Amino acid sequence: MELFHGNIITSKNRNELSVWEDSYIAVDHGLVEGIYPQMPEFADIPVTDYGEDLIIPAFSDLHVHAPQYPQRGTQMDLLLHDWLHQYTFPLERRFEDPEFARAAYDAFLDDMLEHGTMHAVIFGTIHREATGYLIERMERMGLYGLVGKVNMDMDSPDYLCETTEDSLRETETFLERYQSNRTAKPILTPRFAPTCTWKLLKGLGTLGYKYQTGVQTHLVESLWEAQQAKKLYPECGCDTGIYEQAGLLGNGPVVGAHFIFPEDEDIRIMKKYGGYAVQCPDSTNNILAGIMRTGALADEGIRIGLGSDIAGASNLGIYSQIARSVQLSKYKVFYEPEGNRTISFEEAFYMGTKEGGALFGKTGSLEPGYAFDALVIGGIADRFYKLSPVQLLERFCYLGETKHIRARYLGGRKVCKTAGGTG
């Protein structure tokens, strides 16, 4: 057992934070045992005192492209389709080189941990060996992940276009090799419907059922993508319906990145399978696909997490996506007031911690029985102007930097900022 002292904040529910000022959190074998307003009467228990610093749950990134990490903060002058073909796909080609892939993925994981993200749903590339290195590295670090070898067998550059048979064979090898992992597990990853033949999608559905593996993809991300998906597969009714009819839903977690232009049927299907829609605010700003109806979708019962969507965004901080999510909800209401509403900071924080963390089990909260995956936040207060702990947390999400994350704990173990390090 170990005790940590500070100002403890975690989500109580979607609309409310639990705030424990000047309190103690007890951790036993990596799990939260309880939170106490005064020091509990445990005998001979070490106490780590963080004074007035905040102790909060670690963040969850539900949509990120690890191979696009070298591209972050550059080449942002095109819209989605041209951006992919001129910039992103040529970079992803380089991951056929295992040495380049290892260097890029090591840097990506270091930076993800530095930004306080300990759980992530990650796109790799079509290259099984490179994606295998990524999932193996995460497993060794103890980070929680759903990692996918991407599938693309049509309407893609020749150098990223697999044959259907190769795509299915390599995917099954990937599933067989890593399905027994403890923390970093495989997930099926058709890039999006316009890059996948029906034979490939049906084959992936068969693999999903055989290995009880979930799926991640881009769903109704842009008007072009939504229209193209329906043009290719009109019998399926909507973008999400394509994956349902291919047998890809119901085998495990369902993660639909962006979900910006859903029809009623998309929403019905997502609710049926308990799927996650992932808002990626900075990517929305940069690629201009559209703004998610975050508040309205939440009111309709859709589970919503947050994603960095590197390299659509420029950094891996989910805390900044929390702030941007609130901002974009105001834009949505200002320009499209009918049927939309703004979201609160509390809602956005919930999306980036407890809601997203639930995808990986008991993570994303500091309630008893949850993993002590936690961050200590400090150095963001003013000496001359007193803010409450919640105000300091909000300030961190709006203007914080990695230097304000003073400590990181993964399963109760203090970790360094570099991959696999311990402190």
Q: Are residues 341 and 406 in the same domain?
A: no
| CATH number of 408's domain | 2.30.40.10
Q: Is 289 in contact with 82 (CB distance < 8 Å)?
A: no
Which residue range forms the structural domain that includes residue 377? 2-58+364-415
Secondary structure (3-state) at 77: coil
Q: Which among 53, 18, 58 is positioned nearest to 34, based on CA atoms? A: 18
At 258, list the tokens.
């962006």
Q: Tell me which of 345, 360, 375 is where a domain ends.
A: 360
Asked if the model's pLDDT at residue 335 lies above 60, the reply is yes
Q: Are residues 295 and 280 in the same domain?
A: yes
pLDDT digits (tens, 9 = 90+) for 41-55: 876 888 999 999 999
Decide: residue 41, CB within 10 A, 0-12 exposed, 13-18 middle, 19+ buried. exposed
Q: Are residues 343 and 375 in the same domain?
A: no
Asked if the model's pLDDT at residue 278 lies above 50, the reply is yes
Answer yes or no: is 94 within a domain: yes
Q: Which among 258, 164, 233, 176 is positioned nearest to 204, based on CA atoms? A: 164
Q: What average pLDDT score do residues 286-308 get?
A: 94
Q: Tell me which of 360, 388, 404 is where a domain ends.
A: 360
| CATH number of 238's domain | 3.20.20.140
Q: Is 68 in contact with 310 (CB distance < 8 Å)?
A: yes
Q: Are residues 111 and 11 in the same domain?
A: no
pLDDT digits (tens, 9 = 90+) for 62-117: 999 999 999 999 998 888 888 999 999 999 999 999 999 999 999 999 999 999 99
Torsion of CA 220, 223, 225, 230, to 10 degrees: 80
As for how many domains the chain has, the answer is 2
Q: Tell me which of 343, 360, 377 is where a domain ends.
A: 360
Q: Are residues 335 and 377 in the same domain?
A: no
Question: What's the CA gap between 392 and 398, in Å, rounded?
Answer: 10
Answer yes or no: is 421 within a domain: no
Q: Are residues 94 and 231 in the same domain?
A: yes
Q: Are residues 20 and 74 in the same domain?
A: no
Q: Which among 267, 274, 272, 279 is positioned nearest to 237, based on CA atoms? A: 267
Q: Are residues 39 and 99 in the same domain?
A: no
Q: Are residues 130 and 157 in the same domain?
A: yes
At 174, list the tokens.
């990937």
Answer yes or no: is 188 within a domain: yes
pLDDT at residue 272 in the model: 98
The pair phi, psi for residue 256, each rounded to 5°, is -110, 105
Q: Are residues 302 and 155 in the same domain?
A: yes
The pair phi, psi for residue 80, each rounded to 5°, is -50, -55
